Amino acid sequence: MRIAMPDEVEWIIERIHAHGFEAFAVGGCVRDIILGREPEDWDITTSAEPAEIKRIFAKTIDTGLQHGTVTILKNHKGYEVTTYRIDGEYRDGRHPASVEFTRNLTEDLKRRDFTINAMAYSHETGIVDRFCGITDLYGRIIRCVGLAHDRFQEDALRILRALRFSAQLDFSIEEATWQAACELADSLSKVSKERVQTELTKLLLSAHPEKIMLVEKAGLAEFVTGGFAEVFARAKERAGEAPFCGLYGLPQEKSVRWAGFLRYMTPAESVKILKGLKLDNETIDHVRVMTGGFCSPLAPEKTEIRRMLSRMTPGQFEGILHLKAMEGDGSVHCIRKLWKEIVADGDCVRMKDLAVSGDDLLALGMKPGRELGEALGFLFEQVIEKPKLNQKELLLEKLGKRR
């Protein structure tokens, strides 16, 4: 089997060969090509040590010299080249205390997590598959390289990676690998929250987000972050045994998928969980608004829609409609139609689009502060109810009558 590689990867591998060392594309890219998927990145593994790689290539970046990784720049893109290595003893359940370089490819493949991620390829040698990765690819199985218990004990992040790949590829998890994941569930607490979050986000964004249930099945939920186990308990109580089956129909967008997962939690509970997982503030805010909007009733009625729109971004409103549609709310179609009309008519849904400004009111002698804020709030509410009122004279008249 000849695998088509990007020109830059071919060029890098050829140059390393020309200097008398071995080099292969390795890991996820080999797996993805065999599966007919587009690889996210191309990693290269080599028998050459970092100093040797730096002598071969003019433009390099020292990405992680102590782990043997040098980035080679070619056509404005970076390619990570890592020396074959043997990971030393893992002391903290996450990082090897030391790494040792080796000239033996098999040793390097042995340290990798799953059989499907432990294959290497070069045009000269073809596919190097020492751990039956191809068999597992065709059998659609996630299986640890070596003894699963040992491999998860070394690095507990691998447990979540197993679940994540199972969701991305729709593969099952091999029995011993699954058993070890369940037995070592508590070691997930040793993994940094950012890394846990990245894996869970990838899982939720995958083609099989419903496999988030595996986190609960394996007994991992309580070790993810405070309040996480409650998400499953409540979702099952509200929506039965398979509460996340509808998530795949949501847009593949981080905040919407997280909001779908957290939809039965209150906004405050969602924020606590996502902060615990170190999600970025923008995503947290979207989820807070979406979980809030999801649990508020919304009639297919223009005033209500405008009022809701006034409190959020169009993207957040769109997210809420997706969540409501997923939950079987039959009025979403009609709400969308009315929303289109609101946009087409240019109805005011933002304070800044109000025909009267704070400056106008100051010019009329109103004092800055609470009185002014209340007056603007009153006018905005009038316009939300009757968009045609959004004209300066009409609004000032309203204000006069109110006084």
Nearer to ligand ATP, 146 or 227 (CB): 146
Cα 199 to Cα 113, 229, 311, 322, 353, distances in angstroms: 14, 17, 32, 24, 42
The least CB distance from residue 161 to Mg ion, in Å, is 11
Q: Which of 22, 43, 108, 174 binds ligand ATP (CB under 6 A)?
A: 43
Q: Which residues contact 139 (CB under 8 A, 6 or more apart)?
A: none
Residue 361 CA to residue 211 CA, distance in Å, equals: 56
* Residues binding ligand ATP: number (CB under 6 A): 11
Nearer to ligand ATP, 165 or 258 (CB): 165
Q: What contacts 24+ positions apart, CB below 8 Å, involve 390-396?
A: 390/347, 390/348, 390/353, 390/354, 390/355, 391/355, 392/355, 392/356, 392/360, 395/354, 395/355, 395/356, 396/356, 396/360, 396/364
Residue 381, contacted partner among Mg ion, ligand ATP, none, CB below 5-8 A by kind:
none
Told to check if 136 binds ligand ATP by CB under 6 A, we report no
Six-digit token string for 29: 């890219």
Q: Which of 5, 9, 22, 27 binds ligand ATP (CB under 6 A)?
A: 27
Told to check if 40 binds ligand ATP by CB under 6 A, we report yes
Residue 341 CA to residue 280 CA, distance in Å, equals: 34
Residue 143, contacted partner among ligand ATP, Mg ion, none, CB below 5-8 A by kind:
none
What φ, ψ does residue 383 adopt, rounded to 5°? -70, -35
Contact 183, 225 (CB under 8 A): no
Residue 359, contacted partner among ligand ATP, Mg ion, none, CB below 5-8 A by kind:
none
Residue 281 CA to residue 255 CA, distance in Å, equals: 11
**Can you tell me whether residue 43 is helix, strand or coil?**
strand
The least CB distance from residue 256 to ligand ATP, in Å, is 21
Candidates 155-163, 213-221, 233-241, 348-356: pick the segment binding ligand ATP (CB under 6 A).
155-163
Residue 157, contacted partner among Mg ion, ligand ATP, none, CB below 5-8 A by kind:
ligand ATP
Question: By rule CB under 6 A, what string of x and - marks binding of each residue 156-175 to ligand ATP?
Answer: -xx-----------------
Told to check if 216 binds ligand ATP by CB under 6 A, we report no
Q: Which of 5, 9, 16, 28 binds ligand ATP (CB under 6 A)?
A: 28
Candidates 1-9, 150-158, 236-244, 287-295: pick the segment binding ligand ATP (CB under 6 A).
150-158
Which residues on neighbouring strands pair with residue 60, listed in sequence order?
A: 72
Q: What contacts 24+ positions apart, CB below 8 Å, involve 58-67?
A: 66/99, 67/99
Told to check if 199 binds ligand ATP by CB under 6 A, we report no
Residue 241 CA to residue 338 CA, distance in Å, equals: 35
In the complex, which residues of this chain contact Mg ion (CB under 5 A)? 28, 41
Nearer to ligand ATP, 40 or 393 (CB): 40
Nearer to ligand ATP, 38 or 393 (CB): 38
Q: Which residues bind ligand ATP (CB under 6 A)?
A: 27-28, 40, 43, 112-113, 117-118, 155, 157-158
